[in-house]
Amino acid sequence: LEGHEEANPLHHLLEGSLRQRVIDAIEALPEREKMVLTLYYQEELNLKEIGAVLDVGESRVSQLHSQAIKRLRARLANDT
């Protein structure tokens, strides 16, 4: 049963659908929030480093990150 989900075509379809919904939700974010998520999750920068890139304080980066996550959750909840 371990690899059963990976071989299940429905699982792949649902996984692909969720992935596309997340991508669409991220693309709909305001530019700065999108940038924060990209730098944090793809480039693996910490909040201080992101603050230096965006020329804002670490607390502002934290606010932008929180707002982006909140928007993503709301958008994904509305899509279901």
Q: Which two tokens stand for residue 2?
A: 């371990």
Task: Indicate the average pLDDT of the chain.
Answer: 89
Regarding the domain delimited by 4-79, which CATH topology (the fold level of the hierarchy) does it fall under?
Butyryl-CoA Dehydrogenase, subunit A; domain 3 (1.20.140)
Kindly report, residue by residue over 18-37, the tens digit of the pLDDT.
888 989 999 999 999 999 99
Residue pair 58/45 in contact by the 8 Å Cβ criterion: no
Does pLDDT of 5 surpass 70?
no
43 secondary structure, DSSP code: S
